[in-house]
Amino acid sequence: MKLMSYWLDTAPKFMGGQTEAPGGEVDVAVVGAGFTGLSAAIALAKKGASVAVFDAGLVGNAASGRNGGMCNNGFAQDYHALSTTLGRERANMLYRAFDAGVSKVESLIAEEGIACDFKRVGKLKLAAKPKHYDKLARSQALLEKECDPDTYMVTRAELRNEVGSDRYFGGLVFGKSAGMHVGRFAQGLAVAAAKRGVRIYENAPVIGLKRLTGTVHQVQTPTGGVRAKQVLLATGTSEVGPLPWFRRRIVPVGAFIIVTEPLPVATLDRLTPRRRMTTDTKNFVCYFRVTPDNRLLFGGRARFAISSSTSDMKSGVILQRSMVEVFPELSSTRIDYCWGGMVDMTRDRLPRAGERNGLFYSMGYSGHGTHMATYMGAIMAEVLDGRADLNPWRDFSWPAIPGHFGKPWFLPFVGAYYRFQDLVR
């Protein structure tokens, strides 16, 4: 079993990074070479801007290359509840932004000729309890009326057409959702950016950001720096760099995934006949999908903990047990990959983007970054060009999380609370 991301292990390596130390002046410096940063770099380069991208590691090596490879439209939260909290008009606007994110991924793949197995197979959200089905049905009725007619309910009696398990009580299908090979997508974005003249610096952590005037900053790495007319922070949960204000507003939560050995097509046809991107309604969520080479990817929260080799191994054991509970016939199936990554959670599980003290930022995707990060990269290119009105998150306040100063000391307590909620709700 490999303790590394299946996506990163099975994607080509990006060979277009800069070998010389950073220097000189650029129009825009982008901090982070994940989906947000690379999408923004491409959009900015198309506008004629000179762009330098800096990453503390390798292209796509953080959250962008460590997720489940799901481009799922719709909110993580219950739509009915969120529309009540935010108001129907605002909730619908945000919902359409998530839809636009999936479309942006699809169009970028087509424009840049990226081979990453993108397919709109739909998402299935499974009810873990009977009352969860009623809640999903209430949201679906409102969704169909308001903003997404490509949704429908699947009863428990019909569920065998969707998933080969008796564990669930029906589900909600989102027809616009898609899946892809995120490792190949990240590498494809990097290649496309480099072809347009974007300078990509890997293993180049930003250790200094000095505001000179307005939005002009000196961006410093251990080997050199650039003077940038504008800076876009696309860092997610990064612990590197002078970003304490942002760290107080994001909780890095571990997400863990296992991938099986290749499975017979007949087996997969029984387990997931429509090859949906599938998730459930628990707080300790489980999700699964089929990879392009016919493996089953099975992921989830498993533990409220930070990702590390030890934590990943412990989580892998939990996930394998959960997988067998869902699909008993996989009890003797070999696990080939096990890894973890960090999800950048905001308090309300909605992204944030805008400008603060001359720094532009987009982050906090809270588990929906595959498409929303790609979309917001392109949107932030417009925001940097003076179109702040295009930012769907422009009017959202972002207060600090009480008691949070960058290290999530409270995760075990949060985990205990959500375990209790899964038992009683």
Choose between 252 and 356: higher pLDDT: 356
Q: How far apart (Å, rounded) are the C-alpha atoms in residues 412 and 160?
A: 36
Residue 407, both tokens: 């290290």
Q: Is 414 helix (H, G, I), strand (E, B) or coil?
A: helix
Residue 18 has pLDDT above 60, yes or no: yes
Residue 418 predicted with pLDDT over 60: no
Query: What residues does 297 pair with on adjacent strands?
Result: 259, 289
CATH T-level assignment (fold) for domain 6-414: FAD/NAD(P)-binding domain (3.50.50)
Burial class of residue 28, CB neighbours in 10 A (0-12, 13-18, 19+): buried
Residue-wise pLDDT tens digits, 305-324: 777 888 888 889 999 999 99
Token code pair at residue 97: 């932004």
> Is the distance from CB of 112 to CB of 192 less than 8 angstroms?
yes
pLDDT tens track for 173-228: 999 999 999 999 999 999 999 999 999 999 999 999 999 999 999 999 999 999 99
C-beta neighbour count of 324 within 10 angstroms: 15
pTM of the entire predicted model: 0.95
Residue 141 has pLDDT above 60, yes or no: yes
pLDDT tens, 86-110?
A: 999 999 999 999 999 999 999 999 9
Contact assessment for residue 199 and residue 226, using Cβ atoms and an 8 Å cutoff = no
Q: Which residues of 349-407 form beta strands (DSSP E)?
A: 352-356, 359-363
pLDDT of residue 114: 98
**pLDDT confidence bin for 300, thresholds 50/70/90:** confident
Q: What value does the mean pLDDT of the chain take?
A: 93
47, two tokens:
């506008």
What pLDDT is stored for residue 410 in this prediction? Answer: 67
pLDDT score of 280 more than 80: yes
Q: What is the pLDDT of residues 217-226, one digit of tens each?
A: 999 999 999 9
CB within 8 A of 7, min separation 6: which ones?
A: 65, 66, 69, 181, 182, 183, 184
Q: List the one residue out of 319, 342, 61 whose CA is nearest residue 203.
A: 61
Tokens of 233: 């922070």
For residue 300 the two structure tokens come to: 């989830």
The domain locations on the chain are: 6-414
